[in-house]
């Protein structure tokens, strides 16, 4: 979500004739797009802003913008008091109106918004935001507070954005939202939106992130079964393998529900790769609960998992972590080791199979299941080809060459 917001901000600057630079010394403007999902992210953003004092001293005419979720949480007043050299603060709820901050600083712009240029993934991948905010209100999560309740973008607007990005050279689209599969605008459901997007000319592959286990409807599995351009990969955050913890987290599903959903989706799309997010050390998580998370890694067969230590995001005392930092680190280490071991197994299972690869260069691409894959030669960038997987190394599959 933040990457997509940063893309839009960069596009607004490009429209005014600016270009991206990696060298802060050369920059005429700096935008710090902040995250606050965990305290560490917020702390990192704050120290980054602090370090920009020097840049501003050397370049007083340079403009510093602080935007995003931590900006929303901390507020303009607080940030400008603490860092008087900040020119503009734009919180996450107003981030679509970033243009207003630009007008404030530079006056109105004339040119057209420039074509998409992905700075985070490959240039052939484009993000398309389909909803903003979240109304789920998981107990540990600050997103609904800083991004506001769920609101869905109209399908016509989404399809216009998607068409423009495809016309500018994107081959793969990633539909984005916090509970992306809860999409509903008028009569258009998530599956209908997927169908409409899949029909756009120039699209080679469609992904979406992040779905929530509760919101898949009956029509999704048949769609996945029939639409080969719909990626054989889901990033489906589980958060915990313990029913007790899931309930405390207010996720709204049980472990059995989650695993059953995977079974149904894998029956529709054999070989479906699934990655996930886990939180360790949620208040009240016992060793027994944690072991259930560990065993779920194996049982669900996750290809990858982002694992986080619980970070209290509210001032409520009952939400404070109740195991020590050392215990939390120890659980995280054990979980990471289980995930790594399992990822290897899942990767090795692909050896001997044929994968559909969207090539980014002659020798590198990504499979539909989102595994990185290398061949010696023969890939045509921007096109999908079948590859027989002959081996696996670290996190990457190897293939001999492209099949006819």
Site string for ligand SF4, 116-155 (x = CB under 6 A): ------------------x-xxx--x-xx-----------
311 binds ligand SAH (CB under 6 A): yes
d(CA 207, CA 398): 23
What track of x and - describes contact with ligand SF4 for positions 163 through 202 (by CB under 6 A)?
A: ---------------xx-----------------------
Stretches 83-91, 149-157, 309-317, 333-341: which one binds ligand SAH (CB under 6 A)?
309-317
**Minimum Å distance from CB 227 to ligand SAH?**
23
Tell me the CA distances in angstroms from 267 to 55, 191, 337, one per residue in order. 55, 18, 28
Other C-beta atoms lying within 10 Å of the C-beta of residue 64: 22
144: partner contacted, choices ligand SF4, ligand SAH, none (Cβ within 5-8 A by kind):
ligand SF4
CA neighbours within 13 Å on the CB side: how many for 140?
25
Contact 260, 253 (CB under 8 A): no
- 52 is written with which tokens? 């920009």
Q: Which of 278, 359 has the CB closer to ligand SAH? A: 278
> Interacting stretch for ligand SAH, rule CB under 6 A, among 105-113, 225-233, 307-315, 394-402?
307-315
Report d(CA 127, CA 138) in Å as an integer. 25
Instruction: Enter the tokens of residue 80.
Output: 């400008």
Nearer of residues 33 and 311 to ligand SAH, judged by Cβ: 311
Interacting residues with ligand SAH between 227 and 256 (CB under 6 A)? 237, 239
CA-nearest of 48, 105, 46, 39 to 71 is 46
How many Å from the N-terminal Cα to the C-terminal Cα in the chain? 37
Residues within window 252-281 making contact with ligand SAH, judged by CB under 6 A: 277, 279
**How many CA atoms lie less than 13 Å away from 247 in the CB half-sphere?**
6
DSSP bridge pairs for 126: 173
Does residue 141 touch ligand SAH according to CB under 6 A?
yes
Which window, 62-70, 310-318, 321-329, 346-354, contacts ligand SAH (CB under 6 A)?
310-318
Residue 293 found at the interface with ligand SAH (CB under 6 A): no
Only one residue has tokens 């933040």, namely 2
- Give the CA count within 13 Å in the CB-facing half-sphere of 170: 24
Residues forming contacts to ligand SF4 in the complex (CB under 6 A) are 134, 136-138, 141, 143-144, 178-179, 212
Task: Give contact residues for ligand SAH (rule: CB under 6 A).
Answer: 37-38, 140-141, 143, 178, 210, 212, 237, 239, 277, 279, 308, 310-311, 313
């Amino acid at each position: 979500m933040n990457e997509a917001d940063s893309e839009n901000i960069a596009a607004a600057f490009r429209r005014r004739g600016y270009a991206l630079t990696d060298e802060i010394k050369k920059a005429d403007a700096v935008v710090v797009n902040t995250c606050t999902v965990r305290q560490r992210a917020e702390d990192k953003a704050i120290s980054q802003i602090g370090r920009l004092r020097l840049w501003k001293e050397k370049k007083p005419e340079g403009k510093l913008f602080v935007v995003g979720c931590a900006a929303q949480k901390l507020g303009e007043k607080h940030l400008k008091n603490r860092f008087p050299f900040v020119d503009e603060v734009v919180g996450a709820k107003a981030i679509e109106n970033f243009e207003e901050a630009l007008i404030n600083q530079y006056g109105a712009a004339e040119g057209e918004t420039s074509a998409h240029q992905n700075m985070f993934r490959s240039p052939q991948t484009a993000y398309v935001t389909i909803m903003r905010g979240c109304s789920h209100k998981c107990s540990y999560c600050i997103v609904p507070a800083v991004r506001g309740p769920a609101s869905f973008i109209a399908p016509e607007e989404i399809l216009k954005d998607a068409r423009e990005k495809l016309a500018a050279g994107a081959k793969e689209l990633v539909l984005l939202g916090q509970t992306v599969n809860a999409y509903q605008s008028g009569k258009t459901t998530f599956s209908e939106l997927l169908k409409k997007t899949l029909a756009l000319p120039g699209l080679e592959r469609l992904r979406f992130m992040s779905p929530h286990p509760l919101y898949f409807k009956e029509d999704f599995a048949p769609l996945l079964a029939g639409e080969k351009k719909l990626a054989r990969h889901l990033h489906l955050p589980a958060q915990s393998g313990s029913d007790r913890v899931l309930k405390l987290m207010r996720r709204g599903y049980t472990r059995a529900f989650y695993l059953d959903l995977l079974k149904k989706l894998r029956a529709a799309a054999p070989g479906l790769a699934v990655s996930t997010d886990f939180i360790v050390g949620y208040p009240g998580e016992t060793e027994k609960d944690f072991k259930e998370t560990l065993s779920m890694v194996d049982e669900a067969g996750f290809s990858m998992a982002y694992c986080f230590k619980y970070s209290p995001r509210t001032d409520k005392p009952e939400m404070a972590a109740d195991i020590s930092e050392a215990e939390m680190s120890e659980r995280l280490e054990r979980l990471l080791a289980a995930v790594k071991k399992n990822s290897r197994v899942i990767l090795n299972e692909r050896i001997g199979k044929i994968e559909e690869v969207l090539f980014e260069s002659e020798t590198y691409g990504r499979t539909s299941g989102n595994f990185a894959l290398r061949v010696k030669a023969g890939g045509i960038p921007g096109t999908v080809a079948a590859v027989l997987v002959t081996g696996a190394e670290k996190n990457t599959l190897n293939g001999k060459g492209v099949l006819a």
